[in-house]
């Protein structure tokens, strides 16, 4: 590289990312370089990497998993990207749009406080699936939030065991590109706790699209009535999901921007 490439570390409910501000789309980065940056032992350490690009005058989130693979959408990541744009005075606070591989998303971004993002349609694929881990098998729902999710319900999250490796999900043919797997413990009053194994990243402290999938699956499992509002607690914090009568989800939660890092050595 002829000039330093700066990455900024941030997180949304402890789902963490390295962001590269690249409006001219001139930073070339490979899967192996992304994996090195996201490596928690030898790199910066993160669940994913976001290149902030501008295409045809519109912000675009180029999101990659920790292993460098491409993902369609990231609900926590897009809030962190929006927070970066506002706190660095690149984009005024208020309502604006960010394009993703899962389509255009509109956000409400104050200088302080929770950020809301319209995640679009959350789809029940009308198929019962199963996920197995730690000697247990649970049934649940195949949910699409622009990316694929298998949502299963457990009596206690303690039964899930380690999520260092990907749980077995069937039918595997329903997820040819892999799947994010959410394990959900229902609580009273439209609340739930969850753990998640994200494809390409492993277990993460939170997953924005995953909470939207959980909210729809939990609605279907309990009373099936929309609109609904769920408060969901991944290990990293608290997120709120509103689903309207047409199954469109709004994700509401915090985002934090922390320190900058020189990434040049990873891109040599």
Asked if 74 and 63 count as a contact pair (C-beta separation under 8 A), the reply is yes
Which pLDDT does position 169 carry in this prediction?
Answer: 98
Please state, in angstroms and rounded to a whole number, the distance separating the CA atoms of residues 55 and 61: 10
Please state, in angstroms and rounded to a whole number, the distance separating the CA atoms of residues 178 and 198: 9
Residue 21 CB partners (closer than 8 Å, separation 6+) = 6, 8, 52, 84, 88, 90
Kindly state the percentage of the chain with pLDDT values over 90.
Answer: 97
Helix, strand, coil tally for the chain in percent (to 5):
15, 45, 35
Which pLDDT does position 224 carry in this prediction?
Answer: 85
Which pLDDT does position 1 carry in this prediction?
Answer: 45
Q: Each residue of 214-256: pLDDT tens digit?
A: 999 999 999 889 999 999 999 999 999 999 999 999 999 999 9
Helix (H) or strand (E) holding 94: strand 94-100
The candidate with the shortest Cα–Cα distance to 19, out of 268, 258, 201, 199, is 258
**Catalytic, out of 37, 46, 73, 74:** 74
Q: Which two tokens stand for residue 43?
A: 């790199």
Q: Each residue of 111-165: pLDDT tens digit?
A: 999 999 999 999 999 999 999 999 999 999 999 999 999 999 999 999 999 999 9
pLDDT at 176 over 90: yes
Which pLDDT does position 2 carry in this prediction?
Answer: 60
The two beta strands, 48-55 and 6-12, are: unpaired
Backbone conformation region of residue 50, classed left if phi is above 0, alpha if psi is from -120 to 50, else beta: beta
pLDDT at 199 over 70: yes
Which pLDDT does position 33 carry in this prediction?
Answer: 98
Q: Would residue 212 show up in a list of annotated catalytic residues for this protein?
A: no
pLDDT at 32 over 50: yes
The candidate with the shortest Cα–Cα distance to 71, out of 122, 174, 147, 11, is 147
Q: Where in the chain is the domain with CATH 3.10.310.10?
A: 6-113+255-261, 121-253
The two beta strands, 115-121 and 103-109, are: antiparallel
Q: Would residue 38 show up in a list of annotated catalytic residues for this protein?
A: no
Which pLDDT does position 3 carry in this prediction?
Answer: 78
75-87 and 208-222 are packed helices; what angle lies between their axes, rounded to 10 degrees?
130
CATH class of 6-113+255-261: alpha beta
User: For the residues 18-40, what does the mean pLDDT come to?
Assistant: 96
The candidate with the shortest Cα–Cα distance to 120, out of 54, 160, 72, 154, is 72
Q: Each residue of 67-126: pLDDT tens digit?
A: 999 999 999 999 999 999 999 999 999 999 999 999 999 999 999 999 999 999 999 999
Q: Which two tokens stand for residue 205?
A: 């402290």
Report pTM: 0.94
Pick the CATH number of 121-253 from 3.40.50.10800, 3.10.310.10, 3.30.70.100, 3.90.25.10: 3.10.310.10
The candidate with the shortest Cα–Cα distance to 241, out of 249, 233, 128, is 249
Please state, in angstroms and rounded to a whole number, the distance separating the CA atoms of residues 202 and 45: 13
**Catalytic, out of 207, 214, 215, 257:** 207
């Amino acid at each position: 590289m002829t000039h330093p490439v700066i990455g900024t570390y941030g997180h949304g409910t402890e789902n963490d990312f390295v962001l590269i501000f690249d409006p001219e789309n001139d930073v070339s980065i490979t899967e192996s370089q992304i994996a090195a940056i996201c490596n928690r032992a030898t790199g910066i350490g993160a669940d994913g990497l976001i290149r902030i690009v501008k295409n045809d005058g519109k912000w675009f989130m180029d999101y990659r998993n920790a292993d460098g693979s491409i993902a369609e959408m990231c609900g926590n990541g897009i809030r962190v990207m929006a927070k970066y744009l506002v706190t660095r005075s690149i984009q005024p606070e208020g309502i604006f749009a960010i394009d993703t591989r899962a389509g255009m998303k509109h956000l409400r971004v104050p200088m302080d406080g929770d950020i809301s993002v319209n995640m679009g349609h959350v789809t029940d694929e009308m198929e019962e699936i199963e996920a197995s881990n730690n000697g247990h098998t649970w049934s649940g729902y195949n949910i699409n939030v622009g990316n694929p999710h298998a949502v299963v319900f457990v009596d206690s999250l303690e039964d899930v065991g380690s999520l260092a490796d990907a749980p077995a999900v069937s039918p595997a043919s329903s997820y040819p590109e892999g799947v994010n797997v959410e394990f959900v413990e229902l609580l009273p009053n439209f609340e739930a706790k969850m753990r998640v194994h994200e494809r390409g990243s492993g277990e993460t402290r939170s997953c924005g699209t995953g909470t939207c999938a959980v909210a729809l699956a939990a609605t279907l499992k309990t009373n099936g009535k929309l609109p609904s509002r769920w408060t969901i607690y991944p290990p990293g914090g608290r997120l709120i999901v509103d689903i309207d009568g047409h199954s469109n989800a709004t994700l509401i939660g915090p985002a934090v921007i922390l320190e900058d890092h020189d990434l040049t050595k990873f891109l040599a």
